[in-house]
Structure 1
Amino acid sequence: MEHTVYLTEIINLEAIEQNHIPVNYPKTVSLIKELKRFEFTNRITIICGDNGSGKSTLIKGIAEQLSAYKIDGLNYQTEERSYDFLQLKTRRKPKRSFHFTGEDFIRYIEWLEKTKQESREAIEEINETYGAGSYSAMLARQPHERTIGDIRHMYEGSLSQQSHGEGFLNFFRSRLIKDGLYLIDEPESALSYENQYVISMLIRDAANEGAQFIIATHSPIITGIPEADIFEIKEGKLIKTDYENLENIQFLNLFIRKRKYLFE
């Protein structure tokens, strides 16, 4: 499949700038304190860095300012915002923005399964108490049956029959729209290497259809999307780099070549 070069003039989010940072803001997040202005010139921007470097904070800050939709289908409300240190510059407002994290998805699926199970147990208790065929039981069962029905409507089949990776891919794929803006934080926590490749192709194809992606990741596969702009956080600054020059990629290549030697 042929892929085109992404055009800067049709990017939704053009830049972020530092706003006033509260005095009590954690000093450990030097990325935020050093950030003055950062421009997005590509439909796919990938941010790499060690844990604690500030990449997740940056992603969440953008998500809050955009009132992005979260995994649970709700969007960030004004009263939730604790990341007012960022000011966004947009060329045009995206049709919809989403904030995904691999860990949030796993917790969300576990919560849905727990909710379904609790509803089933409540229905069993109602049937035992009132008799399954009684009018009282029918009325008492309705809210629990509605809960189960709503969850089934959201997801085809049983969530428990899908791996976390399959569930995440289906969930992600169903929310891809043209002109959408996607803020993704470490999706690899829910994905195998094979599924990291699958989501990379989904991202690549969606970007060519008009979507924009800002991704924080450690994944050597997701980072490898050929057209992406890659930035590595070093000493609190976002430094544009090539894939082959990323520290984790260099170490991975070394490990593959010298695996036995490194364990001696």
Structure 2
Amino acid sequence: MRKYFVHGYRRAFHPQAPAWVDNVPAFRALRDGLNLRQPITLFTGENGVGKSTLLEGIAVSAGFNALGGAYGETITGRENPLRHAATLLRGPRAMNGHFLRAEAHYGVSSQFNLTHDTDLYALSHGESVLRIVQESFHGAGLFLLDEPESGLSFIRQMTLLAELHQIAEAGAQLIIATHSPVLLALPGARIYEFTADGGLLEGIGVEETTSYRALRDFLADPHGIADYMLDVTDA
């Protein structure tokens, strides 16, 4: 039987939890907790629902730095209040892995450059994210990725999909927050879609996600959708 680094995540009503947590839709959706016992878990939903906030809470509770980076790296970062807002159910595997925040990973790239024959600063944003996955991710870790598709072309997103699938097949556990319909198609992944009203769609297929349906509608009539959005914006 496969063993996991983390088993679940659920709300904890701690007196030190910040009051704003109850205004984050993704945290309101944690009423019954999240089952994380699968090789790949995907968080999706519109901007502002709290996907990244939720992923950061999991990362901090697992012992990663709030700013991202490899497990065990001592990178100065802010104290994250989410450690008081929810409880992470740990599995039996000794913690290892990486917390990759696409918008902030350059801030921890100097540590990566010291341990790898790569200068991430010489690469584009998207390519540097892909390089970290290719050179640092492996089958013996927990890997948390916050919108890793940022800066990647559609084709490069498909490359990333293949890389992440191979890592999961090798034994890794992945938890990913994403808007990408490409990454939402990762084979065998469990998808959680958070809604703006605090709702949660659990275990849905990629075709049922808002991101996929929006892209499908656009590709079916790109000019019509563009004209519609211009009309809405001008209204």
Report the TM-score range of the alignment, normalised by the length of the smaller protein: 0.7 to 0.9
The CA distance in 1 between the partners of 2:77 and 2:146, in whole Å, is 21
1:152 shift after superposition: 6.0
**Structure 1's 173 and 151: CA in aligned 2 closer, same or farther, altered over 3 A?**
closer
1:103 shift after superposition: 0.9
Percent identity (aligned): 26
Aligned with 1:17: secondary structure? strand
The answer as to whether partners of 2:29 and 2:200 remain within 8 angstroms in 1 is: no
The answer as to whether partners of 2:6 and 2:37 remain within 8 angstroms in 1 is: no
1:189 shift after superposition: 1.4
Residue from 230, 239, 248 that aligns with 2:201: 239
Matches within 5 A, 1:1-264: 9-21=2-14, 22=17, 24-36=19-31, 37-68=33-64, 70-71=68-69, 74-75=73-74, 80-83=79-82, 84-109=84-109, 153-156=114-117, 158-234=119-195, 235-240=197-202, 241-264=204-227
The CA distance in 2 between the partners of 1:85 and 1:77, in whole Å, is 22
- For residues 212-251 of structure 1, give each alpha carbon's deviation from its aligned partner in whole angstroms, at most 9, with x where no partner exists: 0010000111111121111111231331211101112112
Counting helix residues as a fraction of each chain, which structure ranks higher? Answer: 1
Counterpart amino acid of 2:57?
G
Q: Which consecutive aligned stretches of 4+ in structure 1 deviate over 6 angstroms post-superposition?
A: 76-79
Bigger Cα Rg: 1
**Structure 1's 226 and 35: CA in aligned 2 closer, same or farther, altered over 3 A?**
same
Q: How many residues align?
A: 218
Unmatched tracts of structure 2, length 5 or more: 228-235
1:154 shift after superposition: 3.6
- For residues 112-139 of structure 1, give each alpha carbon's deviation from its aligned partner in whole angstroms, at most 9, with x where no partner exists: 5xxxxxxxxxxxxxxxxxxxxxxxxxxx
Q: Scaled by the length of structure 1, what TM-score is found?
A: 0.73
Unmatched tracts of structure 1, length 5 or more: 1-6, 113-149
**Structure 1's 248 and 178: CA in aligned 2 closer, same or farther, altered over 3 A?**
closer
The CA distance in 1 between the partners of 2:128 and 2:209, in whole Å, is 30
The CA distance in 2 between the partners of 1:82 and 1:168, in whole Å, is 27
1:93 shift after superposition: 3.3
**Structure 1's 27 and 41: CA in aligned 2 closer, same or farther, altered over 3 A?**
closer
